[in-house]
């Protein structure tokens, strides 16, 4: 019986099936609460849906606010073209398109268990790998977000988890083909979610350092991977230069995101975070000015606010730090005010996961685990962009698989320490009994 239970607990196939079931069950329950008309339209009323609509309608990569406004570089292209393909197959703004996009979100989120499992197995063994994959299968954010956001978020989850696993593997490979595939994977990831770019040089540098050998040309492998990554992005960068006559490597909306989090609507008396921006006003300004001039103006206003209010900016960064990791700048108040057990469970998991991740990093460093630095580097580097702009649990979600993995490592470290003390105590008792 113990052996059977052990096999079930460590069965990756079973974990993936359960992950698919939990996400599908939540989607089925939510779908029954919402009208078909709303599901066919509302999830696509975002920049993602609007640009995909323009592509599928034959207008090209344009119009992030649906009104015809010409070419855009507001978002990276991979997921947008994928969603446009769904529109082509199943109809623009239809219920079938929503279910097709939802199915892909659920699939990516569930299959992320695979790279989590193998990365965890390489870092800390089978027990940690299984625990991390099971935690991801039942993690509330991972169950909810695939339904709530028709965006690149769930695909980014799979890509980041896969990049971590691939980095740990490629560090031991001497084959050029593997490094080429690694570079191509980075290229696809960057063209899906450019926020991942902060991780690329660090993970690639660590893999190169671990892969060094006595051969004089060992650096060719990482250089080849970096070159392929850049080559994947070059066509899109050239397209942006042709359209906007300026260097836009991947996307153009950073200035707008910076202004959202740093603007004149800050309430210094009550310390409310900026956010009272009327979307209709911003859309009208965007349509009137054009994307390039609009972004230049947003950048100017955001920088002026930051430079003119340094103390406020430091306070905002601290708020964003808490908000990024817990989902709210006031986690205790949010937990007390929650009106349902389900909401409290979500808040509790969002608070517990990063605390577990901190413990996991401490365990890796204390045990001098050879994979400590790349694993710890991801949660340290990825949020930096959001600390200076604005935050959301959706923005944290691409690294949630790693957060869960680190939490599993932390729990395993506590368990080992506890059982180790018990064994030492038992051995001491036996020794004392023998002495008597």
Q: What pTM was computed for the model?
A: 0.92
Which pLDDT belongs to residue 328?
Answer: 85
What pLDDT does 214 receive? 59
Vertex 337, ends 335 and 342: CA angle to 5°? 60
What are the angstrom distances between the C-alpha of 366 and each of 162, 372, 380, 410, 423?
Answer: 26, 10, 18, 11, 20
Please tell me the predicted confidence (pLDDT) of residue 213: 75
Distance CA 80, CA 427 (A): 62
pLDDT, residue 435, reads 46
Q: Which of 385, 380, 389 has the alpha carbon at shortest distance from 306?
A: 389
Q: What is the pLDDT of residue 279?
A: 64
Give every residue of the chain whose pLDDT is below 70, as ranges.
214-217, 266-279, 418-436
CB 56 within 8 A of CB 44: no
Q: Alpha carbon of 134 to those of 10, 124, 128, 198, 258: distances in Å?
A: 9, 15, 10, 28, 36
pLDDT of the residue at 304: 94
């Amino acid at each position: 019986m113990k052996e059977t239970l052990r096999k079930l607990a460590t069965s990756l196939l079973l974990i993936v099936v359960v992950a698919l079931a939990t996400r599908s069950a939540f989607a089925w329950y939510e779908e029954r609460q919402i009208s078909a008309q709303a599901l066919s339209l509302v999830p696509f009323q975002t920049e993602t849906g609007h640009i995909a609509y323009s592509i599928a309608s034959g207008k090209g990569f344009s119009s992030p606010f649906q009104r015809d406004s010409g070419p855009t570089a507001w978002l990276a292209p991979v997921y947008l073209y994928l969603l446009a393909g769904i529109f082509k197959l199943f109809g623009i703004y239809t219920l079938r398109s929503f279910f097709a996009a939802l199915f892909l979100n659920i699939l990516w989120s569930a299959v992320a268990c695979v790279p989590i499992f193998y990365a965890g197995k390489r870092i800390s063994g089978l027990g940690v790998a299984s625990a991390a994959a099971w935690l991801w299968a039942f993690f509330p954010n991972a169950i909810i977000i695939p339904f709530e956001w028709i965006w690149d978020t769930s695909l980014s989850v799979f890509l980041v988890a896969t990049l971590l696993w691939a980095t740990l593997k490629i560090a031991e490979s001497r084959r050029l083909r593997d490094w080429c595939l690694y570079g191509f994977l980075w290229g696809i990831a960057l063209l899906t979610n450019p926020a991942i770019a902060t991780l690329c040089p660090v993970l690639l540098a660590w893999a190169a350092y671990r892969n060094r050998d006595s051969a004089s040309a060992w650096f060719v492998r990482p250089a080849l991977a970096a070159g392929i990554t850049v080559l994947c992005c070059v066509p899109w960068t050239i397209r942006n230069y042709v359209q906007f006559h300026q260097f836009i490597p991947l996307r153009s909306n950073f200035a707008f995101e910076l202004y959202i989090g740093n603007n004149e609507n800050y309430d210094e008396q009550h310390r409310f975070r900026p956010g009272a921006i009327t979307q209709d006003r911003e859309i009208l300004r965007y349509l009137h000015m054009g994307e390039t001039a609009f972004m230049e103006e947003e950048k100017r206003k955001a920088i002026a606010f930051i430079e003119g209010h340094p103390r406020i900016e430091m306070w905002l960064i601290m708020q964003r730090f808490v908000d990024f990791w817990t989902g709210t700048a006031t986690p205790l108040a949010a937990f007390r005010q929650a009106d349902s057990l389900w909401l409290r469970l979500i808040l509790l998991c969002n608070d517990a996961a990063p605390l577990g991740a901190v413990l996991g990093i401490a365990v890796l460093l204390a045990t001098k685990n050879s994979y400590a630095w790349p694993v710890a580097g991801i949660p340290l580097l990825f949020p930096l962009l959001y600390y200076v702009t604005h935050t959301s649990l959706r923005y944290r979600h691409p690294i949630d698989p790693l957060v869960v993995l680190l939490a599993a490592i932390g729990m395993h470290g506590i368990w080992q320490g506890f059982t180790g003390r018990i064994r030492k105590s038992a051995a001491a008792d036996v020794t004392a009994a023998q002495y008597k």
